[in-house]
Homo-oligomer: A and B are copies of this chain.
Amino acid sequence: MSTEPLTSEAILDAAEAALRRFGPAKTSVVDVARALEVSHGSVYRHFPSKAALREAVTARWLERVSAPLEDVVTRPGPASRRLRDWVALLAATKQAIARDEPELFETFHQIATGSREVAAVHVDHLADQAARIVADGIAAGEFTDGDPAVLGRAVLQATARFHHPALSREWADPATTTADLDAVLTLILHGLTRPE
């Protein structure tokens, strides 16, 4: 019996573990509280509803997806190389999770689908990362002029086929998927790159 005070972080950890073990359908607030050896009423002192708790778990998880991408954004080197690597890493990350932990992937996709807010924050974050690489490329004279925000968003949307969770069924064949992503990236980069 721990004497530590109950924190939101501890609840998120327990909730994520429970979701991994039982899946979204079989995870109750009581399960989460039991793992923490508190009553389920205590969980409600930190999160206003079960939905809010699940969204918080998902938001934290999505943040762990976009954090490694930040390295590619801030790394030195040509913007075209970084943009290509950034999209490839984003796609590879999502596809790896879908392949290796399909249930967990499905869980988080379901929750994100149900809550516009959580998904929107994640998408905005990604679009911003892409926009910053594009801005670098324009500043360096590597890309043609344009609004980085619009172009970053366009890059994200044009590659949706390869990272949007709703299209995970389309990733069944990794070889085809990689070749297709290469073709789309080449098309896009050609569209961004300044001639000469």
Contacts and interface: CB of A to CB of B under 8 A. Distances in A.
Given A161-B164, A195-B195, A187 B154 contact: yes
Copies in the complex: 2
Given A158-B159, A164-B161, A151 B187 contact: yes
Interface residues of A, number: 27
A157 interface: yes
Nearest to A196: B195
B164 A167 contact: yes
B167 A160 contact: yes
A72 to B, nearest CB: 20
Given A153-B183, A157-B180, A161-B164, 14 more contacts: A151-B183, A154-B180, A154-B186, A157-B184, A158-B158, A158-B161, A158-B187, A158-B188, A160-B167, A166-B167, A166-B169, A187-B188, A190-B191, A190-B192
Interface of A: 113, 144, 150-151, 153-155, 157-161, 164, 166-167, 169, 180, 183-184, 186-192, 195
6 closest A-B pairs by CB: A191-B191, A190-B191, A195-B195, A158-B158, A154-B183, A160-B161
